[in-house]
Structure 1
Amino acid sequence: MGIMGFLRNRAGIIIVVAIGVAIVAFLLSDAIRSGQGFIADSQSEVGKVAGESISYKEFNERVEQNSQQFKQQMGSLNAQMTAYVVENTWNQTVSGIILKKQTEDLGIAVGESELFDLLFDNPSPQVQQIFSNPQTGVFDRATAINSRKSADADPQLKAQWIALEESVQQQRESEKYINLVKNGIYVNSLDAKDDYTNKNKLVNFEYVYKDYASVPDAEVKVTDADYKEYYEQNKYKFKNPTETRTFEYVAFNAAPSKQDTLDAKAKIEKIAEGFRASTNDSLFVAINADTKAPFTYEKKGQLEPALDSVMFNASKGFVYGPYFSNGSFKVAKLLDARVSPDSVKARHILLNPAQEGGMDKALAKADSLKKLIQGGADFGKLAAQYGTDGSKDKGGDLGTFSRGAMPAFEDAVFNGSVGQTMVVQTQFGVHVINIEKQIGSSKVVKVAVVDKGLLPSSATEQAAYQKAQSFLSDVSDFKSFEETAQKQGLNKLVGADVTPLQSSLPGLDDARSLVRWVYKAEKGDVSNEIFDIGDKYVVAVVTAIKPEGTLSLEDVKTQIEPDVKRAVQAKVLKASFDKALNGANSLAQVAQKTGTTVTPVENVVFANPVIPGVAQENKVIGTIFGSQPNKLSKAIDGERGVYVFTVKSFTNPAPMTNALRIKEQVQQAMSQQVDAAVFEVLRKKAKVKDYRAKFY
């Protein structure tokens, strides 16, 4: 399999994965033409961090590299994966620039010897994950070193190692920086005393309370002044970190019709008849299946449920189906069943045909080595002399592995016998394999599956598109969009506060083309095209644009409506309690006047501000701890309603006897918040500008 095969099989762990390269060329020309709003900046930049430009070329190279690593691990990619990994690549880039500036200013660095130690002697978690034996979990130092040596002759492997070393170095510098900040955290005796008191001082009190919901709707008259008052008092809550846009859209369904389903069933039933009669199953599957996959032996529990329940009790040649699974009609045939080892311990000598002068010469050499081994030659010495992968330094040892770990020569080692030496040709080269041990046994089956995806017919798609085209021809602005949708009885959906790089919406898995249009349009614009998204045709209208920064009252009016209503309810209830408090000498009198009940509460601490059976009431409990005993309070508006209380008594805790331990606990709690808090502060200070939506 070789070092490249070993590293490629796990290369996705090397760096934070990213994807999106395939569509960049198409998007770039479209994005450059827009030049509006958030994308009106330099056409060669994907962003800026602390004034430092991130060029498209530089960022795209990283995306390309990360994309390849991700594809090796995941295969096909969907819109959510694309958005997720591109976002991770961006965060890694931004964090790297921020960290670099901080560590350079402070003189923090990772030297060559320290980096070597992190790679090979005391490996970082990243390195351990890549080069650990999958069966034992033990780090394989020799394989790691051999892989690094081989990188100089392999550009792709070298690029992977450069990325790994940069990631390990950056992680170590980050740890040093964070530890430096943590070491600056200091907790004094007063901090420890406050923490001890907040957790142990008890209060007993009584209260009367009215829920906001008790105010009839007829008494809740919300005015513009109420909105403005609430907005001004809470403006700090309405900071928009990035521009967002809201739009309405209608979707015309082009999913397979009932007739499409009937036609697909008839087609798969005909295929099932042919599959039963087939004498060349491999050829039949290759011709008829939508998904081409190799036939492999699988254990109980590895097949999809519909097959797992029948194939292990069936006879060879048994055909199951047609059945429907994961969007496809399928029919399956049992090709073979046998008892097989659960795992195998083996060793090999890998010959590279290119180095041997061609495949014929490599096979001839492998046959010669096989005869030497069968004649008693030392396998380990031959592996060290002729092997071309990392296992040669371990006598060709591949360790113990189960099915799926070595798919290239899986059948050979699992179907062979202990002690057998064989020659196997794979995509990696020519292997001389010796089976040392076979462990356990269980029944396995080899099943061939023919699948046919349930897809809409051209007639179904055309009918849906014509409906969308007809709708689009009748609308020109927001008003006509609303009227036409209502007239045709169409369900309007909303993409609310969509961000520039958002890729999915409710019911729309890959909506990038739609979102890109939304960010080029103006408020009230109707899309000038029909968007083909999944099995739907979509027409949209932009309804709102919220800029970056503090949002206006108009932008948040709908959002704050419940809170403003609650504030008005609080005024009504406080007025009622204020009237009851006038001339009252006890909480019982207030309860009588307001038709409420006095509720006693015992042993509440400041650190856990919960009123039992009601809610967490930070403001109310905080006010209680700042009050004098045996005095009627004013009316206090809380989270759930309005309260009036009387403190009965406070119980102070015993004197603090272990201040050092409490200091350590407080300091530890503060340290746990450092990582995220520090980078959040640095990120804000760096004034990050994000132009990625021009390209992705």
Structure 2
Amino acid sequence: MGIMGFLRERMGKILAGVIGLALLAFIAGEVLKSGSSFFKDNASEIGEVNGQSIGYAEFSKKLDASTQQFRQQSGGQELTPQINSYLQETTWNTYLSQLLLNKEIDKLGLTVGDAEMQSMISGNNPDPQIARQFADPQTGQLDKAKYNQFLSYIQSPKADTAQLRAWADFVHQLVESHRVQKYMSLVTNGLYVNSLDAKDDYLSKNKLVNFKYATLDYASIPDSKIKLTDDDYNSYYNDHKYQFKNQQELRSINYVAFNAAPSKDDSVAIKAQVDKLAGDFKTSTHDSLFVQINSETKTPIVFQKKGALEPRLDSVMFSAEKGFIYGPYIANGSYKIAKLIDSRVGPDSVNARHILLNPAAEGGVDKAIAKADSLKKLIEGGKSFGELAKMYSIDKASAEKNGDLGTFGRGAMVPVFDDAAFAGKPGDIKIVTSQFGVHLLNIVNQKGSSKVVKVAVVDKPLQASSKTQSAVYSKAQAFLVSLNKDNFDAQAKKQNLAERNAEDVSGTAAAIPGLDAARDVVKWAFKAEKGDVSDQVFTVGDKYVVARLTAIKPKGLLPLDAVKKQIEPAVKNMVKAKELTAKFNSALSGSTSIDQVAQKAGSKVVPVQNIVFANPVIPGAAAEYALVGSIFGSQPNKLSKPVEGVQGVYVYTVDSFVNPAQLTNSVREKQQLSQALLQRSEGQILDALKDKANVKDNRAKFL
């Protein structure tokens, strides 16, 4: 019983570890994926890396494994379209990094030898992953006895095939993780911070400058007075080409959405249904069943303390009589009615312990209950609850602490367990069945005392009727029929329809501005040509959508036409800067002080104290890198030439520099710089490999 109970408890963690290591061996900290299989296409290739094909079946397997781990770690959190998109993206990046790193590692011939692997698995200091999986709950340290017991079992003929396979995968991923560590060490061991680096960093953070400046803001010239030429755009584009490298293909969409929200008639009809339910609810004698049958949301009916109910119920239910009906009322898009089932004075918190039995292992719920009853009699006859918990409970975390669950408040446990713990009295031993199994519950102590209420709520969502939906859909369909590639804007204006824009949408996006679940719209956009109108009316939540593809930005260096609209504000500032620079140059002519320059230019002098090179923020303005960089390269008491900044053009004069105490020992500075360099290095290594690789990404076709 000991080893099998231990395995039941540990193998779940080992399996989770296998999933985690498979993804985390290459990028620590990423966990992922969507709620169901990712693929709905018969094509076989989701991507390609340096000529190596990535099959959708293989990638789907990783996504499915990621799903399990995400759900384990999130406690079953709902997977929204936004979460799905994020998880799919990070899964792809993790897998891509894995392929790229494996190629480099194989090229260098990095391996983990047999002796090294044995030491990592069964040596005196096993790998940290193993130490965590087999840690003593009380000390947090590796429990060598249990780990050795597990190793003996896994090497015996009795070992389960699935467990053997899981363990083999776990070990394989440990080995792969160590190969990656070796590769990263090879690269990072070549990084070095010398004394001059340390000194420069120390001065950039501690050397102060005091100066005065005058500025002419770009905003002082109205945009309407600026006429941009092709040469202006070309000049800016050529000087900033490095900014326009597109890491992935992007597309821009504009669309019209027809809102199929509930009409006034829909609201009246639903209100009539709820009014009738309110009467039936008042006379109901089986309130829990009534809620299960009639409510959209099947919320467990449990005792709750003041402050736990929604505010309007919280204000009335604690002074109402049993059977009191509140509503109908509208909340969160639903009509609701609430009934006070019961009220009582009960404890605020409970200290309890339990022995948890697995019905499947005991031969069914009835047999598990019978066994719990036998254990109860043993305890009542003098047997130690703690010893029996260690022997029989499948909840090993609490079993190690004699079954102790600690002290918890209302709502911390599942409803049936919560009710039993708070309804009893200290010393009670109860048998409770929940979704986790059969509990032998012992109430150790209860603290506090306050009034609690049990309120049942029935809700009916305020939804559009089929008549309303059909009418709105017909309008959307009529708009679609009226369109061709050239008249989208004109038809929208003619029908007084508002257009929305979604700029630079990625192929895996799940949402676009204004539409939270727009996956079908995005999928269409990545199959369309520029100017195409959607071939159908899309249903997105309570909206019907007609879309047009307005732009395609391919992967790689974007041409000027693709970024012309995006860079227009910056080009205008560039043109304004020429005019403002000329104005300052005129003011500088014959001037001997910053005050004279400011007066001639129609500006004012602003004094600034204690600015450091490492933090180039001008108080009341913004981060001005060019200005502060120029200042730290200047001599005191000299008028500068005009400097083009982020918010305008500047002229300055340095009053003084304040040098810090001399750096006599650079060890600490070098250590800090080295640590920062190492923290950045792994991400930069992966970025460099991705940048160099020839990657084809076909995910948009499969989503």
d(CA) in 2 for partners of 1:147 and 1:342?
A: 38
- Asked if 1:107 corresponds to 2:110, the answer is yes
Name 1:190's counterpart in structure 2: 196
SS of the equivalent of 2:551 reads strand
581 and 112 in structure 1: CA distance in 2 versus 1, 3 angstrom threshold: same
Structure 1 segments unaligned to the other structure (5+ residues): 30-42
| Counterpart among 518, 522, 530 of residue 537 in structure 2 | 530
Deviation by residue 1:550-574 (Cα, 9 ceiling, x = unmatched): 1111111111111111111111112
Name 1:55's counterpart in structure 2: 55
- TM-superposed deviation, 1:273: 1.6
SS of the equivalent of 1:522 reads coil
- Asked if 1:82 corresponds to 2:95, the answer is no
183 and 299 in structure 1: CA distance in 2 versus 1, 3 angstrom threshold: farther
d(CA) in 1 for partners of 2:544 and 2:493?
A: 18
- TM-superposed deviation, 1:291: 1.9
Which range moves more in the overlay, 100-109 or 566-575?
100-109
Name 1:33's counterpart in structure 2: none
d(CA) in 2 for partners of 1:171 and 1:481?
A: 54
- Asked if 1:560 corresponds to 2:567, the answer is yes
- Asked if 1:281 corresponds to 2:287, the answer is yes
d(CA) in 2 for partners of 1:365 and 1:645?
A: 86
Amino acid at match of 1:328: S
1:106-255 matches, cutoff 5 A: 107=110, 109=112, 111=117, 113-114=119-120, 153=160, 155=162, 181-217=187-223, 219-255=225-261
- TM-superposed deviation, 1:473: 0.9
225 and 370 in structure 1: CA distance in 2 versus 1, 3 angstrom threshold: same
User: Conserved in 1, the CA contact under 8 Å of 2:526 and 2:700?
Assistant: no
152 and 535 in structure 1: CA distance in 2 versus 1, 3 angstrom threshold: farther
180 and 347 in structure 1: CA distance in 2 versus 1, 3 angstrom threshold: farther
d(CA) in 1 for partners of 2:577 and 2:9?
A: 68
610 and 447 in structure 1: CA distance in 2 versus 1, 3 angstrom threshold: closer
- TM-superposed deviation, 1:246: 0.8
User: Conserved in 2, the CA contact under 8 Å of 1:632 and 1:644?
Assistant: yes
Number of positions where the alignment pairs a residue of Structure 1 with one of Structure 2: 674
SS of the equivalent of 1:452 reads strand
- Asked if 1:467 corresponds to 2:475, the answer is yes
Name 1:449's counterpart in structure 2: 457
d(CA) in 2 for partners of 1:645 and 1:117?
A: 66
Which range moves more in the overlay, 63-72 or 182-191?
63-72
Deviation by residue 1:436-488 (Cα, 9 ceiling, x = unmatched): 444555443332221111110011101110100110111121x2111110100
Deviation by residue 1:374-409 (Cα, 9 ceiling, x = unmatched): 333454555566556647974962532534335554
| Counterpart among 90, 93, 108 of residue 91 in structure 1 | 93
d(CA) in 1 for partners of 2:398 and 2:628?
A: 70
1:17-36 matches, cutoff 5 A: 17-20=31-34, 22=36, 24=38, 27-29=40-42
Name 1:314's counterpart in structure 2: 320
Name 1:678's counterpart in structure 2: 685
- TM-superposed deviation, 1:121: 8.9
- Asked if 1:419 corresponds to 2:432, the answer is no
User: Conserved in 1, the CA contact under 8 Å of 2:296 and 2:460?
Assistant: yes
d(CA) in 1 for partners of 2:435 and 2:591?
A: 91
User: Conserved in 2, the CA contact under 8 Å of 1:260 and 1:455?
Assistant: yes
User: Conserved in 1, the CA contact under 8 Å of 2:13 and 2:133?
Assistant: no
375 and 238 in structure 1: CA distance in 2 versus 1, 3 angstrom threshold: same
d(CA) in 2 for partners of 1:270 and 1:393?
A: 51
- TM-superposed deviation, 1:527: 0.8
SS of the equivalent of 1:555 reads helix
d(CA) in 2 for partners of 1:120 and 1:299?
A: 48
522 and 121 in structure 1: CA distance in 2 versus 1, 3 angstrom threshold: closer
- TM-superposed deviation, 1:164: 7.1
| Counterpart among 267, 270, 274 of residue 264 in structure 1 | 270
| Counterpart among 537, 550, 555 of residue 557 in structure 2 | 550
- TM-superposed deviation, 1:595: 3.3
Name 2:496's counterpart in structure 1: 489
d(CA) in 1 for partners of 2:419 and 2:204?
A: 67
User: Conserved in 2, the CA contact under 8 Å of 1:352 and 1:388?
Assistant: no
Deviation by residue 1:572-603 (Cα, 9 ceiling, x = unmatched): 11222333444555555544543334555555
d(CA) in 1 for partners of 2:125 and 2:432?
A: 34
SS of the equivalent of 1:74 reads coil
Amino acid at match of 1:529: Q
- TM-superposed deviation, 1:640: 2.0
Which range moves more in the overlay, 579-588 or 560-569?
579-588
d(CA) in 2 for partners of 1:59 and 1:117?
A: 35
User: Conserved in 2, the CA contact under 8 Å of 1:118 and 1:168?
Assistant: no
176 and 384 in structure 1: CA distance in 2 versus 1, 3 angstrom threshold: same
User: Conserved in 2, the CA contact under 8 Å of 1:47 and 1:691?
Assistant: yes
- Asked if 1:657 corresponds to 2:657, the answer is no
Which range moves more in the overlay, 634-643 or 396-405?
396-405
- Asked if 1:46 corresponds to 2:49, the answer is no
- Asked if 1:405 corresponds to 2:407, the answer is no
SS of the equivalent of 2:673 reads helix
Name 1:519's counterpart in structure 2: 526
Amino acid at match of 2:483: V
User: Conserved in 2, the CA contact under 8 Å of 1:353 and 1:430?
Assistant: no
d(CA) in 2 for partners of 1:449 and 1:117?
A: 59
Deviation by residue 1:505-537 (Cα, 9 ceiling, x = unmatched): 122111111111111111111111110110000
User: Conserved in 2, the CA contact under 8 Å of 1:346 and 1:437?
Assistant: no
User: Conserved in 2, the CA contact under 8 Å of 1:342 and 1:442?
Assistant: no
d(CA) in 1 for partners of 2:258 and 2:384?
A: 70
d(CA) in 2 for partners of 1:248 and 1:170?
A: 46
d(CA) in 1 for partners of 2:317 and 2:459?
A: 17
d(CA) in 2 for partners of 1:462 and 1:276?
A: 36
Name 2:23's counterpart in structure 1: none
1:639-658 matches, cutoff 5 A: 639-650=646-657, 652-658=659-665
Name 1:458's counterpart in structure 2: 466
d(CA) in 1 for partners of 2:127 and 2:342?
A: 47
373 and 666 in structure 1: CA distance in 2 versus 1, 3 angstrom threshold: closer
Name 2:698's counterpart in structure 1: 691
SS of the equivalent of 1:320 reads strand
258 and 97 in structure 1: CA distance in 2 versus 1, 3 angstrom threshold: same
Deviation by residue 1:219-257 (Cα, 9 ceiling, x = unmatched): 522111111111111111111111111111101110111
d(CA) in 2 for partners of 1:125 and 1:306?
A: 51
Which range moves more in the overlay, 653-662 or 82-91?
653-662
d(CA) in 2 for partners of 1:442 and 1:274?
A: 31
Deviation by residue 1:114-133 (Cα, 9 ceiling, x = unmatched): 357999995689859xx897
Which range moves more in the overlay, 671-680 or 68-77?
68-77
Name 1:376's counterpart in structure 2: 382
Which range moves more in the overlay, 417-426 or 103-112?
103-112
197 and 376 in structure 1: CA distance in 2 versus 1, 3 angstrom threshold: closer
Amino acid at match of 1:47: G
Name 2:27's counterpart in structure 1: none
Identity of aligned residues (%): 47
| Counterpart among 552, 572, 577 of residue 579 in structure 2 | 572
> Over the residues paired in the alignment, what is the CA RMSD in angstroms?
3.9
User: Conserved in 2, the CA contact under 8 Å of 1:387 and 1:396?
Assistant: no
Deviation by residue 1:70-110 (Cα, 9 ceiling, x = unmatched): 45633643212221222232233233334444555473758
Name 1:626's counterpart in structure 2: 633
535 and 353 in structure 1: CA distance in 2 versus 1, 3 angstrom threshold: closer
d(CA) in 2 for partners of 1:214 and 1:569?
A: 9
Name 1:36's counterpart in structure 2: none
Amino acid at match of 1:230: Y
TM-score w.r.t. length of structure 1: 0.84
User: Conserved in 2, the CA contact under 8 Å of 1:208 and 1:599?
Assistant: yes
